[in-house]
Structure 1
Amino acid sequence: MSARTVTLQTIDGGLVTIPEPGWCRGHEGEPPLYRSDITHNSVTVDAAAQTDRHGRVPLLQAHISHAPYLELHSEPYPVVSVQLDCVEDFIAEDIPQLLEGLRSAERVLTFVAAEAIRLRGGGRP
Structure 2
Amino acid sequence: MTEPRTVTLPTADAGDVVLPEPSWCAGHQLHDPETLRVDLVHAGPAVDCSHLGTDLFSAELVQSPYSESTNPLLGGRTPGVSVWPIGRTLDPVQLYSLAADLDRYADQLRALADQLATVLDGGEGR
Moved over 4 A (4+): none
* SS of residue paired to 1:21: coil
Is residue 18 from structure 1 mapped to residue 35 from structure 2 by the alignment? Answer: no
Describe the shift of the 1:97–1:23 C-alpha distance in structure 2 as closer, same or farther (beyond 3 A): farther
Instruction: Determine which of 37, 40, 43 is the counterpart of 1:41.
Output: 43
Query: In the alignment, which residue of structure 2 is the partner of 1:30?
Result: 31
What's the offset of the Cα at 1:56? 4.3
The alignment's TM-score, normalised by the length of structure 1, stands at 0.58
Residue segments in structure 1 that go unaligned for 5+ positions in a row? 50-54, 86-94, 100-125
Query: In the alignment, which residue of structure 2 is the partner of 1:64?
Result: 61
- Contact kept in structure 1, 2:67 and 2:77, CA below 8 Å: no
What's the offset of the Cα at 1:98? 8.8
- Say which one has the larger Rg: 2
Deviations 1:49-69 (A, max 9, x none): 4xxxxx344321100010010
CA RMSD in angstroms, aligned pairs only = 2.5
Q: Which of structures 1 and 2 has the larger relative contact order (alpha carbons within 8 angstroms, sep 6+)?
A: 1
Residue segments in structure 2 that go unaligned for 5+ positions in a row? 87-108, 114-126
Describe the shift of the 1:76–1:96 C-alpha distance in structure 2 as closer, same or farther (beyond 3 A): same
Aligned-pair identity in percent equals: 38
Describe the shift of the 1:14–1:80 C-alpha distance in structure 2 as closer, same or farther (beyond 3 A): same
Give the count of matched residue pairs. 85
* SS of residue paired to 1:65: strand
Describe the shift of the 1:15–1:56 C-alpha distance in structure 2 as closer, same or farther (beyond 3 A): closer
Which residue identity is paired with 1:39? V
CA distance in 2, matches of 1:13, 1:65: 21
